[in-house]
């Protein structure tokens, strides 16, 4: 089960932290036998990290500084359930594991601040969405893109069964079998009522319970998942539940398209396929609107594709929307004070990539960063900026 990544989490790592700050990125694998190499390559990155710490911070207690990183290395359960990529950021005052649904270059950076660029680029991709899989008894949340779909660990305060949501308000007692595992007790929980509505229960009581349950789920998902992530939310439920949920929902991220299936009766890959079939037109519509907005702004000299113009505008806080071409790298260095770009043929362009630098500045300045595929980009420069003024 995957933990949700929010812009609030990323913003926290863009602030000042007690150095040295360790940023570790690793491409990982979902299936055997490829995933057997993941912990081995992770431990090799930890060896590189230790060498760097010893060289540059000789007075540091290296073993203590790497303690949480080493705990990950020996967690067999962790390595048995991976996604496409892994990012771990840690210092003496913070530590966070991010599970990524896209691959990332293998990289470790030890510096005075965190290396956020690969993480920002993945998180700002335009094709991300969430699915609320709902029936009368339980709710599950998934997050995905065109290629991957994973169940999301629900935040504390989000009920996943009708018993947890309503408690004593239930018009008929339900019995739940629950098992707990993973961090926080939520990751390994599976709950299923052994009694079902309708067994000695009046129809209006069933409808009252459904109404209360759906309202509770809607409030909790909006507060703890939709607002923090900002992602579009798709409902997956049997057709008879759609109208009731939409009637009680106040979630502005809820999409008008939906999946008319019970997710418990289909495979995860089938659910992803159904979701992307519904999501793709919305994705294309979103990208088309962003491109149209850029073209209109550029025609009024309020937009630019020239990186040398975009960089100082970003630093001045003038960029409202920055489109970045996915999978494109432009080797070079960006002066964060002046916005001057120095192009280069760097040995490791991942660390010094102009597009990633632009995206990071835009994110820090409160602009909207959207990473889109090359075929949808309105420019050939790798970036397109729509100015605020």
Last residue of a domain, one of 123, 146, 168: 123
- Indicate the SS3 state at residue 228: helix
Distances (CA, A) of 373 to 12, 124, 151: 28, 12, 25
Write out the H or E segment, with its range, that includes residue 279.
helix 268-299
Last residue of a domain, one of 123, 140, 174: 123
Vertex 154 angle, CA 151 and 160, to 5°: 95
Residue 286, pLDDT > 50, answer yes
Higher pLDDT, 252 or 332: 252
Roughly what angle, to the nearest 10 degrees, separates helices 354-364 and 307-315? 30
In a domain, 294, yes or no: no
Residue 200, pLDDT > 60, answer no
Task: Please report the pLDDT score of residue 343 as a whole number.
Answer: 76
d(CA 243, CA 141): 19
Residue 142 and residue 165 in one domain? yes
Distances (CA, A) of 235 to 12, 81, 232, 267, 339: 30, 26, 10, 16, 44
Asked if 66 contacts 46 with a C-beta cutoff of 8 angstroms, the reply is yes
Residue 140 and residue 262 in one domain? yes
| Average confidence (pLDDT) over 284-311 | 96
Residue 337 and residue 261 in one domain? no
Asked if 211 contacts 136 with a C-beta cutoff of 8 angstroms, the reply is no
Beta bridge partner(s), residue 368: 321
In a domain, 292, yes or no: no
In a domain, 285, yes or no: no
Q: What is the DSSP letter of 161?
A: B
CA atoms within 13 A on the CB side of 99: 20
Task: Please report the pLDDT score of residue 373 as a whole number.
Answer: 93
Residue 23, pLDDT > 50, answer yes
Task: Please report the pLDDT score of residue 282 as a whole number.
Answer: 94
pLDDT tens, 343-357? 766 454 445 688 988
| Average confidence (pLDDT) over 360-387 | 94
In a domain, 289, yes or no: no
Question: Which residue's entry shows tokens 């926290």?
Answer: 12
The CATH number linked to 153 is 3.30.420
The burial of 111, by beta-carbon neighbours within 10 Å (0-12 exposed, 13-18 middle, 19 or more buried), is given as middle
Write out the H or E segment, with its range, that includes residue 371.
strand 368-372
The CATH number linked to 96 is 3.30.960.10
Please give the share of the chain, as a percent, with pLDDT higher than 90. Answer: 70
Write out the H or E segment, with its range, that includes residue 163.
helix 162-166
Q: What is the DSSP letter of 171?
A: S
Q: Token pair of 199, please?
A: 């067994």
Q: What is the pTM of this model?
A: 0.85
Residue 98 and residue 143 in one domain? no
Which of 315, 10, 268 is CA-nearest to residue 143? Answer: 268
| Average confidence (pLDDT) over 91-111 | 93
Whole-number average pLDDT of the chain? 88
Residue 209 and residue 312 in one domain? no
Residue 317 and residue 206 in one domain? no
Residue 248 and residue 119 in one domain? no
Q: What are the E-state strand segments in 68-138? A: 85-91, 94-100, 107-111, 129-134
Please give the share of the chain, as a percent, with pLDDT higher than 70. Answer: 89
Task: Please report the pLDDT score of residue 26 as a whole number.
Answer: 97
- pLDDT bin (cut points 50, 70, 90) of residue 198 is very low
Residue 135 and residue 222 in one domain? yes
Residue 145 and residue 177 in one domain? yes
d(CA 127, CA 232): 10
Q: Token pair of 369, please?
A: 């960063």
d(CA 337, CA 200): 71
Higher pLDDT, 183 or 226: 226
Residue 108 and residue 205 in one domain? no
d(CA 14, CA 21): 11
When divided into structural domains, the chain yields a total of 3
Task: Please report the pLDDT score of residue 345 as a whole number.
Answer: 61
In a domain, 288, yes or no: no
In a domain, 293, yes or no: no
| Average confidence (pLDDT) over 30-47 | 94
The CATH number linked to 332 is 3.30.1330.30
Q: DSSP assignment of 16-58, as one string?
A: ---SPEEEEEEE--SSTTGGGGHHHHHHHHHHHHHHHHHHH-T
Write out the H or E segment, with its range, that includes residue 259.
strand 254-259
Which of 312, 300, 298 is CA-nearest to residue 357? Answer: 312
d(CA 48, CA 62): 12
Residue 110 and residue 144 in one domain? no
Residue 266 and residue 316 in one domain? no
Task: Please report the pLDDT score of residue 201 as a whole number.
Answer: 54
pLDDT tens, 115-155? 998 899 888 999 999 999 999 999 999 999 999 999 999 99
Domain hosting 331: range is 300-387
| Average confidence (pLDDT) over 184-203 | 46
Last residue of a domain, one of 123, 147, 162: 123
In a domain, 295, yes or no: no
Task: Please report the pLDDT score of residue 337 as a whole number.
Answer: 87
Residue 175, pLDDT > 70, answer no
In a domain, 49, yes or no: yes
């Amino acid at each position: 089960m995957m933990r949700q990544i929010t812009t609030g989490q990323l913003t926290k790592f863009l602030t000042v932290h007690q150095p040295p700050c360790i940023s570790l990125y690793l491409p990982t694998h979902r299936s055997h036998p490829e995933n057997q190499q993941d912990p081995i390559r992770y431990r090799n990155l930890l060896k590189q990290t230790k060498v760097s710490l010893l060289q540059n911070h000789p007075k540091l207690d290296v073993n203590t500084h790497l303690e949480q990183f080493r705990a990950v290395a020996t967690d067999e359960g962790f390595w048995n359930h991976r996604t496409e990529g892994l990012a771990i950021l840690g210092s003496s005052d913070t530590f966070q594991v991010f599970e990524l649904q896209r691959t990332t270059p293998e990289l470790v950076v030890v510096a005075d601040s965190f290396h956020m660029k690969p993480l920002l680029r993945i998180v700002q991709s335009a094709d991300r969405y969430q699915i609320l899989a709902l029936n009368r008894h339980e709710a599950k949340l998934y997050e995905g893109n065109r290629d991957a779909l994973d169940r999301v660990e629900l935040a504390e305060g989000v009920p996943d069964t009708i018993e947890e949501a309503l408690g004593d308000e239930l018009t008929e007692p339900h019995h739940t079998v629950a098992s707990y595992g993973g961090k926080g007790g939520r990751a390994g929980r599976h709950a299923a009522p052994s009694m079902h509505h309708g067994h000695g229960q009046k129809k209006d009581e069933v409808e009252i319970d459904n109404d209360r349950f759906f309202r509770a789920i809607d409030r909790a998902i909006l507060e703890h998942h939709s607002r923090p992530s900002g992602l579009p939310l798709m409902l997956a439920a049997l057709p008879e539940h759609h109208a009731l949920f939409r009637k009680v929902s106040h979630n502005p991220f809820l999409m008008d398209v939906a999946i008319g299936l019970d997710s418990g009766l289909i495979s995860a890959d089938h659910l992803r396929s159904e979701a992307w079939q519904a999501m793709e037109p919305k994705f294309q519509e979103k990208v088309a609107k962003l491109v149209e907005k850029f073209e209109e702004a550029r025609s009024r000299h309020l937009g630019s594709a020239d990186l040398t113009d975009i960089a100082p505008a970003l630093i001045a806080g003038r960029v409202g929307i920055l489109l970045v071409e996915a999978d494109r790298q432009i080797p070079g260095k960006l002066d964060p004070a002046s916005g001057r770009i120095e192009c280069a043929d760097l040995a490791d362009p991942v660390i010094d990539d102009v597009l990633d630098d632009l995206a990071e500045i835009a994110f820090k300045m409160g602009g909207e960063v959207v990473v889109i595929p090359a075929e949808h980009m309105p420019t050939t420069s790798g970036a397109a900026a729509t100015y605020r003024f």
